[in-house]
Amino acid sequence: MLQAKRQSRYDRLAALGLAATTNPGGAGKWRPTYGEVLPGARVVILPDHDLAGRRHAEAVCSNLAGAAAEVRVLELAGLAEKGDVSEWIAEREREAGGWRERETHPS
Classify residue 102 by its DSSP letter. P
pLDDT in tens, 15-33: 878 888 888 888 889 998 9
Degrees (nearest 5) of the Cα angle 35, 40, 44?
A: 65
Q: What is the arrangement of strands in the sheet containing 70-73, beginning at the earlier edge strand?
A: 20-21, 2-4, 42-46, 70-73
Q: Where are the alpha helices (DSSP H) in 1-107?
A: 7-15, 51-64, 85-96
pLDDT in tens, 46-104: 899 999 999 999 999 999 998 899 999 999 988 899 998 888 888 888 887 755 555 55
- pTM (predicted TM-score): 0.75
Domain ranges in the chain? 2-96
